[in-house]
């Protein structure tokens, strides 16, 4: 669509911007930053914090820059006396109902309200403290997320995130006036409602009202306990984002430095979730082929297709609540994190001559839902809690800083062995479409004996930030044992953000869409945009992290999961074959229908 | 008491199953039982394909859509300026004495809940109260007691 | 200075010889553009308080290119001190319906709604009954237009037009960002003309009695008459239709109890006029525009209590979404309490006035913006009463 240019002045400087541009963005063009709190570029405009008010010459009142489109001849002042007074007053008002216990706050140093208070040098509190007059309620029952209303500034970013990006609306605005607050259904704890623990709200909360539950101290304790062998695993998306916690621009690939840092932190063994990501492909690929065979050859009408992926614990919780009738369609494979935990306390323990009870498995995840997943009662295949503690990328950054490690000067090092080897196919698990691409690389080759027919193995149609991506791969020239697939066009869908997953599942439910295989990641952009990733995360940053992930893949010598030598080894030495009895015992799980309301 | 599910079904027939039907449905349930409990809201959320939290969030915005148990008769005494000037405090006191409850409370027999309300729109004839939908302007303490006593008989 | 007597008017409630459906029938013989020109010419401005020219509102809505358009009657009369719309809907509902129908015809809407505040639910049975007949009447005269009732449920803010749309859409009544304005994007995102109850009756009566007759009343900036809700310390509390353009002094002479020290013009969100300003304050668009609430206070009244009541009202009735209003109201309320108790020095009132002025320019909607009106006027004119 052709857009007209609109002419206006901002702080007396003329600027022309396309029609529909907000004052906020027009100012950005002129390098004037207007402060915001409720605004987030992933979300719809709210215009409720009012921190971004600007003066429009001739206007009766100030204007919210985030919510107001430019108009011809507008004269805007972003820093007039009236604006400054109003802005400072608004910050003071927010502080008066905000628990400003900053030095003890988890978000100390990464709080947007704190930064604004600092920027405007809000001194003596002018207004009466309203926090003390209210009962402080902290919901810390969830293993993933802590909600502390005393810190909430009611910007509603979390509410918009939960509804617009995730289609969950576990959080909503309740009451009005001075009682207005962000609430779950009847203010129940997050563990008792439809919350998927995705942590997208945590990633967007400008203050410390929604934060991850941290296990950093527990992990330090384990490291410092000489009787415990602490194994750490790192998810694919952490290596392209950890830099943002440590002074790098978004999109730096820092796998080697990260491994060195983890060793310096004192972990006994630094291993890779990518190893079990490769393993997942073999297990899940086999499961898919088995389902297809049962459907096509055995004409078994009970087989559940399309099959969906199961790596994303936010997605699992979502489908358990929202489409429980589709639980048989979800791959029974555990997520790579949980496969790793189960194997660390069995296979790894055996090989290293350790007892399972003496091993502590720590995961570094871009995710808050992984904390919940590790706590699920099903996740004890080793006889113990398979994964002891889950830390987010942010928490790892915290540990590195606490240990005084000068990250930028670190040498690269390699993951330890065993369970440290991986391929490019595992790395791309961190991006939306990655599991699909990795699965297709392996499944196609297993079935035809030839590489998947995409240039350089890059299955471009499933890459990128489109909410729902579709791809069709025609299978031709099958090996004899797979001849039943000859000529079949495998139809795939990839969805990220639960709101898109919901659309896809609804289409399947209504019979509007027919797929064989669906990949779902709960978070926008996949794990690289996970709730546990550095703050801020936005579209630009997600794209940079994705680019880094695909660079990492392209640079690796092995790019197909079935070529991972350690994966071959574990099947020979321990598991037997994909979907074997032992695999099922350790690497597969089941799901629980949950209440939708 | 009518089945809430039935009320929801009837209302969706008139107002549809889109979100815009939410207020009439909430109002219909409240008209029947004077408040909404969690199960009511869950049923409504299901009928309109909304999250339960959204239904709760919307209901809790509106003063008349109570989300805590209320009596059969909800008394709302206007507390805004004109009624204040005209003596709403005495009216409230008289009702509190009569029903042996304080503002915000419900009688043990679950017949009456006493609440205050913001301006009811009878500033020239205050003090005024609503009992459910019925309005009683130009109150005196004695009149208020008589009216409530009459309701008690019902 | 000599003051003249107030001029009483009888337009709104007059029913003699008026058949609303017939008036609609004859009005829709005119071209919509002609009706709009008449409305603009009449100078009729919104009687809810904001005073936007009705003809322009209709014109803007008509100009929008949309198959679906709506006309809504805002009967969410929640402003403390205002009760005229209830009286109008009770006594002459058919004139309101007819006003909606004329507006609907003019802008090209096939559906009209009356959003009635929950506090007036007792009017519903009667209104619904009369609506059935009216809707049938519209069918009979060949106008594709039906009116439905919608109810509020106790939320003052829903009188704000965009909050009202949100409420009708099944949401929390939180005001929207503007632009876009309702004439472009209102109920369900469609062009919507939303008018106050009284405005619709005047619009109807302009069709009936003609523009010239209407223009005989009022002043250049404030054409016509207005229904006033008179309350407080007055022996003549009630509804009075008066010509616009009078001074507060004239009003007090007519309605006061001889001891009036202040008049709150426009309800809780309006301004408080102290005795010394009675003579110079015109009630109308050239002075204080108002939805018609006139609350009289005599010297026995504590203006602290008055202000306290107002602030409590706003603290509770703010939708809570925007910072200046949600937190500002609480701070103003707790602030005057603290000054009264001596916990804050009297000079804190100046900080609070500054806060109120910020609310006036920075709040998202009219509610938060207007809290400054009572606050600044009462604190400025009755400072001693607030402190001591």
Whether A105 is a known active-site residue: answer no
At residue A272, the 3 state secondary structure works out as strand
R_g of chain A, CA atoms, integer Å: 25
The distance of A212 to chain B (nearest Cα, Å) reads: 21
* Among candidate residues A195, A212, A229, the one where a domain is terminated: A212
H or E stretch covering B14: helix B4-15
Q: Are residues C250 and C35 in contact, defined by beta-carbon separation less than 8 angstroms?
A: no
Domain residue limits, chain B: 4-59, 73-153
Mutation pick from A35, A46, A50 vs chain C, by most beta carbons of C within 10 Å, is A50
Minimal C-alpha gap between C274 and chain B (Å)? 18
At residue C2, the pLDDT reads 44
Query: Quick check: helix, strand or coil at residue A153?
Result: coil
Residue A24 sits in the same domain as residue A107: no
- Is A119 part of the annotated catalytic residue set? no
Nearest residue to C159 via CA among C350, C331, C317, C1: C317
Reading the block at residue A589, the tokens are 């799980």
- Structure confidence by residue, pLDDT tens digits, A132-151: 888 888 999 999 999 999 99
CB C182 within 8 A of CB C162: yes
Q: Is A378 an active-site residue?
A: yes
Q: Which residue in this structure is represented by tokens 């949401």?
A: C171
**Count of CB atoms within 10 A of residue C343's CB?**
12
Nearest residue on chain C to A63, judged by CA atoms? C362
DSSP label at residue B94: H
Which of B52, B57, B60 comes nearest A597 by C-beta? Answer: B52
| pLDDT exceeds 80 at position A313 | yes
Report the pLDDT value the prediction gives residue B52, as an integer from 0 to 100. 97
Catalytic residue flag (residue A360): no
* pLDDT at position A125: 67
Let me know if residue A513 belongs to a domain. no
List A112, A284, A320, A437, catalytic entry: A284
Residue C387 belongs to a domain: no
Query: Do A118 and A177 share a structural domain?
Result: yes
Task: Name the pairing type of β-strands A468-474 and B73-78.
Answer: unpaired
Q: Judge contact between C123 and C92, C-beta under 8 A.
A: no
Judge contact between C20 and C98, C-beta under 8 A.
yes
Q: Is residue A375 part of a domain?
A: yes
Nearest to A206 by CA among A153, A135, A148: A153
Q: CB A94 to CB C323 under 8 A?
A: yes
Could you list the residue range(s) of the whole structural domain that residue A127 is in? Answer: 94-212
Using an 8 Å Cβ cutoff, are C247 and C3 in contact? yes
Are C320 and A176 inside 8 Å of each other by CB?
Answer: yes
Measured CA to CA, the distance from residue A515 to residue A529 in angstroms comes to 25
What is the Cα–Cα distance from A377 to A243, expressed in whole angstroms?
A: 34
Question: Does pLDDT of A585 surpass 60?
Answer: yes
Digit-by-digit pLDDT tens for chain C (388 residues) are 445 678 999 999 999 999 999 999 999 999 999 999 999 999 999 999 888 999 999 999 999 999 999 999 999 999 999 999 999 999 999 999 999 999 999 999 999 999 999 999 999 999 999 999 999 999 999 999 999 999 999 999 999 999 999 999 999 999 999 999 999 999 999 999 999 999 999 999 999 999 999 999 999 889 999 999 999 999 999 999 999 999 999 999 999 999 999 999 999 999 999 999 999 999 988 888 889 999 999 999 999 999 999 999 999 999 999 999 999 999 999 999 999 999 999 999 999 999 999 999 999 999 999 999 999 999 999 999 999 9
- How confident is the model at residue A567, as a pLDDT? 98
Chain C: residues touching A (Cβ < 8 Å): 155, 157, 172, 174, 177, 179, 315-324, 326-331, 334-335, 338, 351, 354-355, 358, 360-364, 369
Residues of chain C contacting residue A46, judged by C-beta atoms under 8 Å apart: 321
CATH number of the domain encompassing residue A256:
3.40.50.1780
In this structure, is residue C98 part of a structural domain?
A: yes
Q: Are A335 and A312 in contact (CB under 8 A)?
A: yes
Residue A481 lies in a domain: no
Q: Say whether C45 sits in a helix, a strand or coil.
A: strand
> Chain B residue closest to C321 (CA)?
B61
The residue annotated as part of the active site, out of A378, A470, A476, A563, is A378
Q: Same structural domain for residues C60 and C202? A: yes
Q: Are A149 and A246 part of one and the same domain?
A: no
Suggest the residue from A36, A52, A128 to mutate for an interface test with chain C (most C CBs closer than 10 A): A128
Whether B8 has a pLDDT exceeding 50, the answer reads: yes
Same structural domain, A131 and A207:
yes
CB C130 within 8 A of CB C90: no
Residue A49 banded pLDDT, cuts 50, 70, 90: very high
Of C235, C258, C292, the position where a domain reaches its end is: C292
Our CA-based measurement puts residue C366 at a distance from the nearest CA of chain A, in whole angstroms, of 10
A278-306 pLDDT, tens digit each:
999 999 999 999 999 999 999 999 999 99
Mean pLDDT value across residues A382-387: 98
Same domain flag for C208 and C229: no
Q: Which of C78, C122, C153 sits opposite B27 (nearest CB)?
A: C153
| Structure tokens that stand for C263 in this block | 């008049």
Q: Tell me, yes or no, whether A400 lies in a domain.
A: yes
Distances (CA, A) of A572 to A285, A345, A417, A566, A568: 18, 18, 17, 10, 6
User: Which chain C residues have a beta carbon less than 8 Å from that of B26?
Assistant: 153
A-chain residue closest to C366, CA distance: A61
Range B73-153: architecture per CATH: 3-Layer(aba) Sandwich (3.40)
Q: Which of A56, A79, A102 is the last residue of a domain?
A: A79
How far lies A96's CA from each of A102, A124, A438, C309, in Å?
13, 11, 51, 22
Catalytic residue among A105, A155, A311, A367: A311
Spatial distance between the Cα atoms of A496 and A469, rounded to a whole number of angstroms: 9
- pLDDT for A133 equals 85
pLDDT above 80: residue A485: yes
Do the chains contact at A163 and B54, CB–CB below 8 Å?
Answer: yes
pLDDT over 70, % of chain A: 99
Q: What is the mean pLDDT of residues A199-218?
A: 98
Q: What is the CATH number of the domain that holds C373?
A: 1.20.1440.230
- The predicted model scores a pTM of 0.96
Chain A environment of C334 (Cβ under 8 Å): 128, 130
Same-domain pairing of C177 and C273: no
Check if A519 is active-site: no
Residue A489 among the catalytic residues: no
Asked whether the bond before C179 is cis by omega within 30 degrees of 0, the reply is yes
Whether residue A542 has pLDDT greater than 90: yes
How many domains are contained in chain A?
Answer: 3
Q: Does A105 lie in the same domain as A180?
A: yes
Domain that holds residue C246: 225-292
Whether B51 sits inside 8 A of A176 (CB atoms) is: no
Evaluate if residue A152 carries a pLDDT over 70: yes
| Alpha carbon distance A37, A17 (integer Å) | 24
b/e code C241-267 from CB counts within 10 Å (16+ = b): bbbbbbbbbbbbbbbbeeebbbbbbbb
Could you tell me how many residues make up chain C?
388
**Residue B87 distance to chain A (closest CA, Å):** 26
Residues A389 and A243 grouped into a single domain = yes
Specify the pLDDT at position A134.
85
| Domain annotation covers residue C4 | no
Answer whether C362 sits within 8 Å of A45, measured CB to CB: no
Same domain membership, residue C177 and residue C58:
yes
Q: Which chains touch C (3 or more CB pairs under 8 A)?
A: A, B
| Number of domains into which chain C is organized | 3
Strands (DSSP E) contained in A328-480 are: 359-365, 389-392, 468-474
Q: C11 lies in a domain?
A: no
Shortest distance between the Cα of B24 and any Cα of chain C, in A, equals 8
Q: Is residue A389 part of a domain?
A: yes
- Choose the final residue of a domain: A409, A441, A457: A409
The three state secondary structure string of A92-138 is HHHHHCCCCCHHHCCCCCCCHHHHHHHHCCCCCCCCCCCCCCCCCCE
Distance to chain B for C220, nearest Cα, Å? 31
pLDDT at A2 over 90: no
Which CATH number goes with the domain that contains C270? 3.10.20.600
**Nearest-by-CA chain A residue for C348:** A126
Query: Could you tell me if residue A104 is inside a domain?
Result: yes
| CA C50 – CA C200 distance, rounded (Å) | 15
What are the chain C neighbours of A61 within 8 Å (beta carbons)?
360-363, 369
3-state secondary structure of C274: strand
- Which of A244, A229, A236, A264 lies closest to A413, judged by CA? A264
Q: Give the model confidence (pLDDT) of A168-187 as tens digits.
A: 999 999 999 999 999 999 99
Q: Is A466 a catalytic residue?
A: no
The verdict on a CB contact (< 8 Å) between C316 and A177 is yes
CA distance A516 to A444: 14
When pLDDT is cut at 50, 70 and 90, the band that residue A25 belongs to is very high
Distance CA(C232)–CA(C237), nearest Å, equals 7
For the four alpha carbons of A87, A89, A93 and A98, in that order, the dihedral sign comes to positive
A391 pLDDT above the threshold of 90: yes
Helix (H) or strand (E) holding C96: helix C93-107
Contacts of C34 (CB under 8 A, 6+ apart): none
Residue of A174, A176, A194 with shortest CB distance to B56: A174
Residues C125 and C234 in one domain: no
How many residue pairs from chains A and B have C-beta atoms closer than 8 A?
Answer: 51
Mark whether A41 is an active-site residue.
no
**Does some domain include residue A474?**
no
Same domain, C128 and C240: no
Shared domain check, A184 and A71: no
Q: Does C339 share its domain with C260?
A: no
């Amino acid at each position: 669509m052709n857009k007209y240019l609109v002419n206006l002045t901002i702080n007396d400087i003329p600027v022309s911007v396309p029609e529909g541009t907000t004052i906020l963005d027009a100012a950005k063009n002129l390098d004037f930053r207007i402060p915001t709190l409720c605004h987030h570029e992933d979300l719809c405009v709210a215009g409720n914090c009012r921190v971004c008010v600007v003066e429009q010459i001739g206007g009766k009142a100030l204007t919210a820059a985030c919510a107001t489109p430019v108009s011809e001849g507008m004269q805007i002042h972003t820093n007039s006396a009236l604006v400054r007074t109003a802005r400072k007053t608004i910050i003071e008002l927010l502080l008066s109902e905000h628990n400003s216990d900053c030095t003890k706050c988890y978000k100390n140093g990464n709080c947007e309200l704190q930064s604004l208070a600092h920027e405007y040098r809000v001194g003596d509190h002018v207004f009466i403290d309203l926090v003390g007059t209210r009962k402080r309620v902290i919901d810390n029952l969830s293993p993933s997320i802590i909600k502390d209303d005393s810190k909430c500034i009611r910007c509603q970013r979390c509410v918009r995130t939960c509804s617009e990006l995730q289609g969950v609306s576990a959080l909503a605005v309740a009451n009005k006036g001075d009682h207005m607050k962000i609430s779950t259904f009847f203010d129940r704890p997050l563990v008792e409602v439809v919350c998927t623990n995705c942590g997208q709200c945590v990633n967007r909360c400008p203050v410390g009202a929604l934060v991850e539950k941290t296990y950093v101290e527990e992990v330090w304790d384990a490291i410092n306990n000489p009787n415990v062998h602490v194994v750490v695993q790192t998810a694919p998306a952490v290596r392209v984002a950890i830099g943002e916690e440590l002074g790098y621009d978004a999109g730096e690939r820092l796998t080697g430095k990260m491994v060195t840092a983890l060793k310096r932190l004192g972990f006994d063994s630094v291993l890779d979730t990518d190893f079990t990501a490769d393993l997942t492909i073999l297990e899940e690929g086999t499961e898919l082929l088995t389902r297809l065979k049962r459907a096509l050859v055995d004409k078994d009408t009970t087989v559940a297709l399309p099959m969906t992926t199961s790596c994303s614990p936010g997605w699992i919780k979502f489908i358990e609540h929202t489409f429980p009738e589709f639980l048989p369609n979800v791959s029974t494979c555990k997520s790579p994190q949980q496969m790793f935990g189960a194997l660390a306390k069995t296979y790894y323990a055996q090989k290293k001559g350790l007892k399972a009870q003496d091993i502590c498995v720590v995961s570094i995840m871009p995710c808050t839902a992984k904390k919940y997943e590790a706590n699920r009662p099903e996740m004890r295949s080793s006889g113990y809690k398979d994964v002891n503690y889950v830390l987010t990328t942010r928490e790892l950054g915290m540990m590195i800083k606490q240990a005084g490690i000068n990250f930028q000067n670190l040498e690269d090092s390699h993951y330890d062995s065993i369970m440290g080897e991986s391929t490019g196919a595992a790395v791309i698990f961190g991006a939306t479409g990655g599991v699909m691409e990795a699965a297709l690389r392996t499944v196609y080759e297993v079935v035809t004996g030839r590489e998947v027919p995409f240039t350089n193995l890059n299955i471009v149609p499933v890459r990128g930030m489109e909410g729902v991506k579709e791809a069709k791969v025609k299978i031709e020239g099958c090996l004899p044992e797979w001849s039943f697939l000859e000529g079949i066009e495998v139809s795939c869908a990839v969805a990220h953000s639960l709101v898109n997953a919901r659309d896809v599942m609804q289409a399947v439910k209504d019979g509007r869409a027919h797929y064989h295989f669906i990949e779902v990641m709960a978070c926008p952009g996949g794990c690289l945009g996970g709730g546990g990733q550095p703050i801020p995360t936005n579209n630009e940053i997600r794209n940079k992290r994705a680019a880094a992930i695909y660079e990492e893949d392209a640079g690796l010598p092995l790019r197909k999961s079935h070529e991972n030598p350690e994966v071959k080894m574990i099947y020979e030495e321990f598991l037997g074959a994909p979907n074997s009895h032992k695999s099922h015992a350790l690497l597969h799980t089941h799901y629980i229908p949950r209440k939708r309301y | 008491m009518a089945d809430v599910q039935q009320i929801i079904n009837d209302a969706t027939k008139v107002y549809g199953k889109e979100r815009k039907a939410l207020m009439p449905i909430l109002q219909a349930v409240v008209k029947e039982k004077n408040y909404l409990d969690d199960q009511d809201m869950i049923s409504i959320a299901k009928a309109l394909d909304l999250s339960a939290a959204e239904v709760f969030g919307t209901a809790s915005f509106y003063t008349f859509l109570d989300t805590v148990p209320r009596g059969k008769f909800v008394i709302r005494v206007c507390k805004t300026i004109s009624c204040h000037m005209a003596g709403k405090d005495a009216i409230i006191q008289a009702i509190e004495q009569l029903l042996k409850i304080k503002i915000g409370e419900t009688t043990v027999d679950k017949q009456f809940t006493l609440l205050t309300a913001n301006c009811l729109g009878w500033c020239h004839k205050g003090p005024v109260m609503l009992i459910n939908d019925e309005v009683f302007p130009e109150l005196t303490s004695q009149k208020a007691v008589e009216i409530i006593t009459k309701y008690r008989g019902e | 200075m000599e003051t003249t007597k107030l001029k009483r008017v009888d337009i709104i409630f007059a029913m003699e010889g008026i058949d609303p459906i017939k008036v609609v029938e004859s009005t829709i013989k005119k071209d919509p553009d002609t009706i709009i020109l008449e409305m603009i010419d009449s100078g009729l401005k919104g009687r809810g308080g904001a005073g936007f020219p009705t003809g322009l509102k209709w014109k803007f809505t008509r100009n929008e290119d949309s198959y679906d358009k709506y006309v809504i009657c805002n009967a969410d009369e929640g402003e403390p001190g205002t009760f005229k719309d209830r009286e109008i809907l009770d006594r002459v509902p058919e004139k309101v319906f007819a006003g909606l129908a004329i507006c609907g015809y003019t802008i090209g809407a096939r559906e009209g709604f009356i959003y009635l505040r929950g506090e007036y639910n007792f009017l519903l049975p009667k209104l619904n009954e009369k609506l059935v007949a009216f809707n049938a009447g519209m069918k009979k005269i060949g106008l594709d237009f039906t009116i439905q009732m919608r109810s509020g449920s106790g939320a003052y803010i829903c009188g704000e037009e965009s909050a009202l749309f949100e409420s009708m859409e099944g949401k929390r009544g939180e005001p929207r960002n503007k632009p876009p304005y309702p004439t472009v994007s209102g109920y369900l995102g469609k062009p919507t003309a939303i008018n106050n109850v009284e405005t619709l009756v005047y619009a109807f009566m302009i069709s009936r009695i003609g523009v010239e007759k209407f223009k005989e009343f009022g002043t250049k900036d404030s054409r016509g008459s207005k229904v006033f809700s008179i309350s407080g310390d007055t022996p003549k509390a009630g509804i009075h239709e008066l010509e616009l353009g009078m001074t507060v002094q004239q009003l007090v002479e007519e309605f006061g109890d001889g001891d009036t020290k202040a008049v709150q013009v426009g309800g809780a969100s309006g301004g408080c006029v102290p005795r010394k300003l009675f003579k110079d304050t015109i009630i109308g668009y050239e002075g204080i525009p108002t939805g018609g609430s006139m609350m009289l206070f005599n010297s026995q009244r504590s203006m602290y209590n008055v202000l306290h009541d107002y602030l409590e009202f706003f603290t509770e009735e703010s939708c809570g979404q925007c910072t200046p209003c949600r937190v500002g109201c609480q701070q103003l309320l707790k602030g005057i309490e603290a000054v009264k108790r001596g916990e804050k020095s009297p000079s804190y009132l100046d900080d609070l006035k500054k806060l109120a002025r910020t609310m006036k320019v920075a709040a998202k909607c009219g509610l938060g913006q207007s809290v400054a009106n009572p606050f600044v006027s009462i604190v400025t004119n009755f400072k001693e009463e607030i402190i001591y």
